[in-house]
């Protein structure tokens, strides 16, 4: 460990913040002119590490701050950064920063930038090896001279400090102080023991007198107990009998009160039943009027239907006769149509067969004629053309013409095929449409009947829904009237409740109720009055105790209450008080429990969730039968008490009572509001449900009406479209026939095209074959035979074709005649007759209408009967309700008479209970007085309860008088003699034990002092040996030709030398005496440490310090300093110009010594003995930071620094060795010039 870096700011001459480059862990030298700030640099280090700047006054602190030009420095600090790689500071960090800051009003330390105390810093330095007993690891200017001039005795004290004897001396002084205090305590204990012994002798006599007194006193107390106990038993018996009687009266009074409350409840129930009966009569009368209106409506409908039925029946006769005639004509026409259709079905296949046969013969004929014509043409060309070329040119031209004609024919055929395809598609579509139309016409009757049935069903459904809606409307009007009644009653109840409180509270209650109903804020439970139930007997008591707290609102948390208050404030909705369940913590009160003192909490019923609320409101109150008992409990138990009538007694003596009008009960008002609100909400909920049903029924009726309209429209549409449908069918059939005719024409055209194409193909083949033959003037024999065959075949084919054509024309004429007759005559007549049939069907429709009207009439008659039955039921209900009201009014009169009787009985019961309570109070006071007198007798002997029971009262009083007379004679006796004797005996025992402990402590302290003295002597001897050994070794290194020793001085040796008249200081070399002499020596006889040295020879007589020159003295002092540091090494050393008074050779030796100590490990102490710190001699050499004006130390230094002082500010910079030597030379030259 060593100093790594030093930072200074505002300290003495270092005004600005100065960061000094890291120091070498070995030897560092600082040079600078006088007054530049070298000593201030060492002062800065001592400011942090040393004891020179402790307990500074404000003035002394101000002197440490920099004073110069510019702004004033208010604070200063010095920061030392230690290299801690060897972890001598136990922080497990590579570096440790130690800082001290100072100002006019502060002086602070910090370790690693964390605040610390001076003690923390000292402890940290002690752990790292900075011994407070050895202050010579920082050697400032003058310390060497001071050490040089120290006397032998001062050197001995120095060695004692190095040995750490201050610790032993402090512990010895503390032990002597404790021993002196122990002696003082022992003396005081002896004095106290003498006084206690004398007092114990006096108390022995007082104990005897007290024994006699206590015997008489026990007899007196036993006699008094017997007298008081007999009187107490008599009073308790009376009290028990009275309490039994009072309990019987109280039970009877409770029975009468319960009966009274029952009568009241019955009376209220009867009154409510009367009101409900009257409301029911009103509803029944309204219902009666509604049934009457419906009855009139149905009777009107009945008359209308009967008139319609009569009209329909008159028109049915004529319609029936027309229907018979129409059916005969229709049958005849249908037979003719069937015959023609049958004939047409027979002719049509024959016609088609003849036509096909004609087409085949025509094909044969055309082919024969074509071959004939080609042969003729060929024969003509043979005669027409002279050469083959002319013939071929003609043939090629003809081939081209044939090809062109063939292309044209094929194109026409393709167009004709496309037309045929379109016609076939049209025919297929027309046939599908005709089938659809014919099916519609054929199914018209059945379809019309189904549509009519659907229409009738839709109408029935509509009528049924309308009837259901009437029932719902009737119930809706009843519920609406009941809801209006409940709302009016709720308004009355709310007005009645609002009169029980101030207007802001009433408005606030309504606002909070509205918030609760709307569900704006969750967590509102209701008012206190809504959250519990109580019997009528205790209703008045509960109201009196709760007061306006009945209207406090209970909420989950105070946040919920704050939200509601915010809404009230924003809406100007009045005021309200809230009780938050998460905040309320009622205190438990110890209430009395007796038959005449019952907790008010036990008389109310509530949910466990609201236990804290009820405890808060009612938990401190009891219920007593009378105000006298309530007052007594309030005074004796410190609680609030109330009677069932509402009289209260407070613990401070306050009594409140008087008449309370129970008809204006706030609880009743709250209950009424709750009841009518519940009733109104129930009726309103039912009304909303019915309204929803009405809306749904309206929607269903609307849907049913729509369905009825759709069915009627569909029926009407079907009836109106039947005639046009038949016309459309005839049009489609005509179109179909025309399309078929066109298709036949197109097919015939195709056949012609095929024949022409075949002929052209044969002609083309003929021309092409002819081109391949030789040119001849005549036909070949084969061609001639073919020509002859064709000439004979063609006439036969013509005759055959003509016969087939005639037969086809005949069949075609018959077929056309039948088709025209059906299309132009029979089918139109059928349409006319069908239309008449439909007209006759209208007669059937009137029959249907008649059936519908008869069914509607039946339904109307049924409704009339139902309404008449309802009217009768309503009349009966009205009569029953009226009779019930009369019966209830009679019962009410009876109940009122019972209430008057019970009220008088309750008054008598209360008067009897009040009288009984007075007697009970008097007996209770007597009992308490007797119990108090018995309690004042104190603890009684065991036989006091039985000893005097057989004596009568006169004998007991006589003995009591005797006992009191004897006690008067002993009234001066010390009644605490036994107690005092025991106390003094206990004190004596305690003091003896304490004195024994002090004797043992005294011996332990004496033993400790002896051990401390022994260890102190051993430490002094061990330190002297180490320092003497190191001094000899260091001196011989500094002065190789000489030698030096340290000698201990004893008082006896010095006195002996003075007696012999020898000029001797009595110096004895500790290392020169034998072991026997060492054992005989006593450290207490040491009077000093002397130094004897020789600079010229190791064997010449040695000189004392006083005989040496100034430089030699300084060298001796430095040798002693190095010896002390080797015995008690430090991590680093600060030397301020220690070589100033040395000659060149000694400066070189000192520089070499420092260099050697900085670079080498220290040697072990002699005989393997360790120094005061266990590991201090085992580390490497320490770090040295020295200031000098001499070159010798610069030559061996590892790093050089220069102090420069400019503008009243010092700063420290690194310098090279040449620059440092030059600076030293210039300084020495400047010092020699004035000397010359």
- Neighbour tally for 377: CB within 10 Å: 16
Q: Are 601 and 613 in contact (CB under 8 A)?
A: no
Residue 873: both structure tokens together: 């039921």
Structural contact between residues 739 and 426, judged by C-beta atoms closer than 8 angstroms: yes
CB 351 within 8 A of CB 815: yes
Q: What DSSP assignment string belongs to 366-378? A: HHHHHHHHHHHHH
Residue 1165's pLDDT is 39
CA 950 – CA 938 distance, rounded (Å): 23
Yes or no: say if 42 and 1136 are a contact pair by the CB < 8 Å rule: yes
Q: What residue segments make up the domains of the chain, in order of their start? A: 2-131+1133-1157+1184-1235
Q: 631 Cβ partners below 8 Å, 6+ apart?
A: 641, 649, 653, 655
What is the rounded CA–CA span in Å between residue 467 and residue 459?
Answer: 12
Strand, helix or coil for residue 855: helix
- Give the bridge partners for 621, in sequence order: 640
Is 553:527 a contact under the CB 8 Å cutoff?
yes
- Pair type for strands 138-139 and 1132-1136: parallel
Helix axes 165-384, 152-163, angle to 10 degrees: 40
Superfamily of domain 2-131+1133-1157+1184-1235: P-loop containing nucleotide triphosphate hydrolases (3.40.50.300)
- How many whole angstroms separate alpha carbon 676 and alpha carbon 696? 29
Q: In what order do the strands lie in the sheet with 640-642?
A: 598-599, 621-623, 640-642, 648-649, 655-656
Q: 1049: which strand partners?
A: 1067, 1088
Q: What is the pTM of this model?
A: 0.39
Low-confidence ranges of the chain (pLDDT < 50): 839-844, 1063-1081, 1162-1180, 1235-1236
- Tokens matching residue 374: 């080609």
H-helix or E-strand spanning residue 1087: strand 1086-1094
Residue 81: per-residue pLDDT: 92
Residues 6+ apart with CB under 8 A from 228: 930, 933, 934, 937
Tokens linked to 976: 């605490």
pLDDT at position 906, please? 76
Cα of first residue to Cα of last residue in the chain, in angstroms, is 47
Nearest to 667 by CA among 550, 841, 508: 550
Tokens of 425: 């598609």
The confidence score (pLDDT) of residue 831 equals 65
For 988-1000, what is each residue's pLDDT tens digit? 888 888 878 878 8
* Exposed/middle/buried for residue 554 (C-beta within 10 Å: 0-12, 13-18, 19+): buried
* Cα–Cα distance, 688 to 180 (Å, whole number): 103
Q: Are 1091 and 1116 in contact (CB under 8 A)?
A: yes
Rg (CA), the chain: 73
Transcribe 997-1016 into DSSP letters. HHHHHHHHHHHHHHHHHHHH
Return d(Cα 1191, Cα 178) in angstroms, integer: 58
Asked if residues 641 and 624 have their Cβ atoms less than 8 Å apart, the reply is yes
Q: Using CA atoms, how far apart are residues 914 and 927, in angstroms rounded to an integer? A: 20
CB-based contact 1139:1193 (threshold 8 Å): yes
């Amino acid at each position: 460990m060593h100093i790594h870096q030093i930072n200074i700011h505002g300290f003495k001459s270092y005004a600005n913040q100065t960061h000094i480059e890291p120091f070498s862990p070995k030897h560092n030298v600082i040079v600078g002119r006088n007054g530049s700030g070298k000593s201030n640099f060492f002062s800065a280090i001592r400011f942090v590490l040393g004891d020179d700047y402790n307990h500074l006054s404000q003035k002394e602190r101000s002197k440490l701050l920099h004073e110069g030009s510019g702004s004033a420095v208010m604070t200063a600090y010095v920061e030392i950064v230690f290299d801690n790689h060897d972890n001598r500071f136990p922080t497990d960090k590579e570096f440790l920063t130690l800082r001290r800051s100072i100002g006019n009003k502060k002086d602070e330390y910090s370790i690693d930038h964390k605040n610390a105390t001076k003690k923390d810093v000292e402890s940290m330095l002690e752990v790292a090896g900075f011994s407070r007993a050895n202050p010579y690891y920082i050697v400032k200017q003058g310390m060497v001279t001071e050490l040089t001039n120290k006397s032998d005795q001062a050197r001995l004290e120095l060695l004692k400090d190095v040995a750490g004897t201050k610790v032993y001396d402090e512990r010895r002084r503390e032990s002597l102080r404790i021993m002196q205090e122990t002696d003082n305590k022992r003396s005081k204990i002896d004095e106290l023991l003498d006084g206690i012994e004398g007092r114990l002798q006096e108390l022995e006599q007082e104990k005897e007198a007290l024994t006699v007194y206590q015997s008489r006193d026990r007899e007196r107390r036993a006699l008094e107990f017997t007298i008081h106990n007999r009187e107490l038993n008599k009073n308790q018996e009376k009290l028990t009998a009275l309490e039994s009687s009072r309990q019987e009266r109280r039970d009877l009074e409770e029975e009468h009160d319960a009966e009274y409350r029952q009568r009241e409840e019955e009376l209220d129930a009867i009154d409510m039943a009367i009101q409900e009966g009257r409301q029911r009569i009103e509803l029944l009368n309204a219902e009666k009027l509604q049934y009457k209106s419906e009855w009139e409506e149905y009777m009107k409908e009945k008359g209308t239907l009967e008139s319609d039925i009569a009209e329909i029946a008159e028109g049915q006769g004529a319609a029936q006769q027309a229907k018979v005639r129409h059916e005969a004509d229709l049958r005849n026409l249908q037979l003719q149509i069937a015959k023609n259709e049958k004939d047409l079905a027979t002719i049509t296949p024959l016609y088609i067969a003849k036509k096909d046969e004609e087409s085949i013969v025509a094909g044969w004929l055309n082919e024969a004629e074509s071959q004939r014509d080609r042969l003729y043409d060929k024969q003509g060309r043979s005669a027409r053309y002279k050469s083959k070329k002319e013939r071929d040119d003609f043939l090629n031209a003809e081939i081209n013409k044939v090809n062109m004609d063939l292309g044209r024919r094929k194109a026409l055929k393709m167009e004709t095929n496309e037309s045929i395809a379109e016609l076939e598609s049209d025919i297929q579509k027309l046939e599908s449409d005709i089938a659809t139309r014919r099916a519609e016409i054929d199914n018209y009757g059945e379809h019309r009947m189904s549509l009519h049935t659907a229409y009738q069903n839709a109408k029935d459904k509509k009528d049924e829904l309308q009837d259901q809606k009437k029932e719902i409307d009737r119930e809706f009007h009843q519920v609406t009237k009941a809801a209006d009644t409940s709302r009016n009653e709720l308004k009355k109840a709310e007005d009645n409740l609002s009169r029980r409180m101030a207007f802001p509270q009433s408005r606030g209650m309504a606002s909070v109720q509205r918030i609760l109903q709307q569900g704006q804020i969750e967590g509102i439970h209701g008012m206190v009055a809504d959250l519990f139930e109580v019997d009528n007997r205790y209703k008045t008591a509960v109201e009196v105790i709760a007061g306006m707290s009945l209207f406090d609102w209970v909420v989950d948390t105070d946040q919920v209450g704050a939200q509601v208050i915010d809404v009230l404030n924003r809406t100007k909705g009045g005021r309200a008080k809230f009780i938050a369940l998460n905040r309320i913590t009622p205190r438990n009160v110890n209430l009395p429990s007796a038959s005449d003192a019952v907790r008010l909490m036990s008389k109310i019923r509530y949910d466990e969730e609201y236990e804290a609320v009820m405890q808060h409101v009612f938990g401190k109150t009891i219920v007593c039968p009378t105000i006298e008992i309530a007052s007594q409990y309030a005074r004796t138990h410190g609680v609030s008490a109330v009677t069932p009538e509402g009289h209260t007694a407070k613990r401070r003596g306050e009594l409140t009572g008087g008449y309370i009008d129970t008809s204006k009960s706030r609880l009743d008002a709250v209950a009424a509001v709750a009841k009518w609100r519940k009733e109104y909400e129930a009726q309103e909920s039912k009304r909303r449900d019915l309204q929803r049903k009405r809306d749904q029924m309206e929607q269903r009726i609307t849907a049913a009406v729509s369905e009825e309209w759709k069915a009627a429209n569909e029926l009407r549409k079907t009836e109106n479209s039947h005639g046009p449908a038949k016309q459309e069918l005839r049009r489609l059939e005509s179109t179909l026939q025309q399309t078929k005719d066109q298709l036949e024409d197109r097919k015939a055209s195709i056949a012609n095209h095929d024949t022409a194409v075949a002929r052209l193909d044969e002609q083309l083949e003929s021309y092409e074959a002819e081109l391949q033959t030789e040119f001849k003037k005549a036909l070949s024999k084969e061609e001639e035979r073919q020509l002859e065959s064709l000439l004979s075949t063609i006439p036969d084919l013509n005759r055959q074709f003509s016969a087939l054509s005639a037969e086809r024309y005949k069949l075609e004429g018959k077929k056309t005649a039948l088709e025209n007759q059906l299309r132009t005559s029979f089918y139109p007549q059928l349409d006319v007759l069908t239309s008449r049939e439909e007209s006759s069907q209208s007669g059937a429709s009137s029959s249907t209408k008649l059936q519908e009207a008869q069914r509607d009439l039946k339904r109307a008659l049924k409704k009339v009967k139902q309404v008449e039955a309802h009217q009768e039921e309503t009349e009966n209900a009205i009569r029953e309700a009226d009779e019930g009201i009369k019966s209830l009014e009679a019962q009410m009169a009876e109940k009122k008479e019972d209430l008057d009787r019970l009220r008088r009985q309750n008054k008598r019961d209360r008067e009897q209970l009040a009288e009984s309570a007075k007697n009970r109070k008097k007996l209770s006071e007597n009992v308490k007085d007797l119990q108090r007198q018995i309690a004042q007798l104190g603890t009684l002997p065991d036989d006091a309860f039985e000893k005097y029971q057989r004596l009568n009262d006169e004998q007991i009083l006589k003995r009591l008088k005797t006992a009191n007379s004897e006690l008067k004679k002993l009234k001066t006796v010390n009644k605490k003699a036994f107690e005092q004797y025991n106390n003094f005996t206990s004190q004596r025992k305690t003091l003896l034990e304490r004195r024994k402990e002090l004797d043992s402590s005294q011996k332990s302290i004496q033993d400790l002092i002896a051990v401390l003295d022994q260890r102190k002597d051993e430490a002094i001897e061990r330190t002297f040996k180490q320092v003497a050994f190191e001094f000899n070794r260091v001196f011989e290194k500094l002065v190789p030709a000489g030698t030096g020793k340290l000698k201990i001085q004893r008082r006896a040796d010095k006195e002996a030398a003075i007696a012999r008249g020898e000029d001797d200081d009595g110096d004895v070399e500790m290392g020169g005496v034998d072991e026997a002499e060492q054992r005989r020596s006593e450290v207490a006889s040491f009077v000093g440490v002397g130094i004897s040295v020789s600079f010229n020879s190791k064997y010449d007589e040695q000189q004392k310090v006083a005989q040496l020159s100034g430089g030699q003295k300084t060298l001796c002092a430095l040798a002693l300093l190095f010896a002390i540091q080797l015995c008690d090494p430090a991590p680093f050393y600060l030397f301020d110009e220690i070589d100033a008074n040395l000659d060149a050779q000694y400066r070189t030796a000192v520089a070499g010594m420092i260099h050697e100590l900085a670079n080498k490990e220290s040697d072990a102490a002699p005989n393997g003995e360790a120094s005061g710190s266990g590991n201090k001699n085992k580390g490497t050499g320490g770090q040295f930071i020295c200031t000098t004006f001499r070159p010798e130390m610069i030559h061996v230094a590892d790093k050089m620094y220069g102090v420069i002082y400019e503008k009243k500010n010092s700063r420290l910079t690194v310098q090279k060795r040449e620059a440092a030597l030059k600076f030293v030379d210039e300084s020495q030259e400047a010092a020699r010039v004035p000397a010359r």
